[in-house]
Amino acid sequence: MHPDWAATRKRAEEELARARTLAELEEVRIRYLGKKGVVTRALAELGRLPPEERPQFGRQANLLRQALEEAVSRRREEIEREEEARRLREERVDVTLPGVPVRRGSLHPLYQVADEVKRIFLGMGFTVAEGPEVEYDWYNFEALNIPRDHPSRDAQESLYITDDILLRTQTSPVQIRVMQSMAPRLPVKVIAPGKVYRRDTVDPTHSFMFHQVEGLLVDRGVTMAHLRGVLEEFARQLFGPRTRVRLRPSYFPFTEPSAEFDTTCFLCGGRGCSTCGSGWLEMAGCGMVHPRVLQVGGYDPEEVTGFAFGMGLDRLTMLKYRITDLRLLFQNDVRFLAQFA
């Protein structure tokens, strides 16, 4: 019995029209054109028909298959257009609406102070120098007039990698490297900010890693008065124009004479408060560059003099922002850091 080709085509086209998704369309296609579909099964009967009926039967079956393939293709395009239009409606973005605010980050308070310190000294004609954090013992100690038997060479203070290499304990080695690279040119006028390392137990005022900034000026006729003038100008720019300074005698192996540099407390104006106690804040160690250090750097101490100073950037940051625990600077707590944005 021959299938009713017209009825089969009409029924298939009606089912194609009802298909609303590509999955439903595929089900209809398989039902009529798949390996076990209506058209495929009809063609399988072709070999059992009388020879005189085969041409007409085959032609009708192929015409039906071709018509259904074209209908499936058209319906697929229609469904794809409909789905695209639906996505455009549902996923539409109103570009006039305000965007989702993104919280802006900011510089770490330590680097805010470091940048301010650099800005002040750059304004006074200094340049910024850098040196390695993994340093030779000779640069870190010997060249700075600190011999092998000096108390500051105690292994409890320094982090040695080998007998001759350590993590630098101060930024002072940069002094030697800069002088050696410039000698005999004058003036030498640099600051050297950076990280330093010591074997300290972490507590509210100590850390095994902290930050310093070293300053060095070498030229003819440099005196302690120049040192005081530079540090006084620095303190007034950092803490305010009414800041007063003082130099107290001290000792450092690489400077002679040596001094501690203090400023009046910027919170109480020198009257005394819970932060300073006496009205004064210790800021830096400083002094005139020792003649032996000048010689190692390639300069004749009979011809030139110089001054040097070193201060802790972490301490400056804690004083400026009234931070009572050094560990807060390194814990990366966003709640804490957001206060300095």
Would you kindly state where each structural domain of the chain is located, as residue ranges? 5-90, 109-340
78 CB-near residues (< 8 Å, 6+ apart) = none
Nearest to 283 by CA among 327, 217, 236: 236
Range with the poorest average pLDDT among 87-91, 186-190, 236-240: 87-91
* pLDDT: which is higher, 68 or 249: 249
Question: Is pLDDT above 80 for 189?
Answer: yes
Mean pLDDT of the chain: 88
Tell me the per-residue pLDDT of 45-80, one tens digit each, with 9 for 90 and over. Answer: 777 778 877 788 778 878 888 888 888 888 889 888
Alpha carbon distances (Å) from 303 to 58, 222, 243, 295: 114, 11, 34, 11
The values of phi and psi at residue 131, to 5°, are -145, 170
* pLDDT: which is higher, 51 or 145: 145
pTM of the model: 0.68
Which tokens belong to 42? 């009809």
What is the C-alpha to C-alpha distance for residues 302 and 292, in angstroms, rounded to an integer?
11
Nearest to 206 by CA among 198, 195, 216, 214: 198
Question: Is pLDDT above 80 for 231?
Answer: yes
What per-residue confidence (pLDDT) applies to 96?
86
CATH architecture of 109-340: 2-Layer Sandwich (3.30)
* pLDDT: which is higher, 50 or 154: 50
Tell me the per-residue pLDDT of 74-124, one tens digit each, with 9 for 90 and over. Answer: 888 988 898 888 888 888 877 888 888 887 778 899 999 999 999 999 999
Strands in 188-197's sheet, in edge-to-edge order, are: 127-128, 188-197, 209-219, 305-312, 280-289, 255-264, 245-252
Which tokens belong to 223? 């005196």
Contact 179, 304 (CB under 8 A): no
What per-residue confidence (pLDDT) applies to 155?
60
What per-residue confidence (pLDDT) applies to 15?
85
> Dihedral sign, CA of 193, 195, 198, 203?
positive
Question: Is pLDDT above 70 for 156?
Answer: no
Mean pLDDT of 124-130: 96
CA-based Rg of the chain, rounded to a whole angstrom?
A: 42
**3-state SS, residue 184:** coil
Whole-number percent of the chain with pLDDT over 90: 47
Mean pLDDT of 273-285: 81
* Confidence band for 144, pLDDT divided at 50, 70 and 90: very high
> Among 3-7, 55-59, 60-64, 162-166, which range has the highest average pLDDT?
162-166
Whole-number percent of the chain with pLDDT over 70: 97
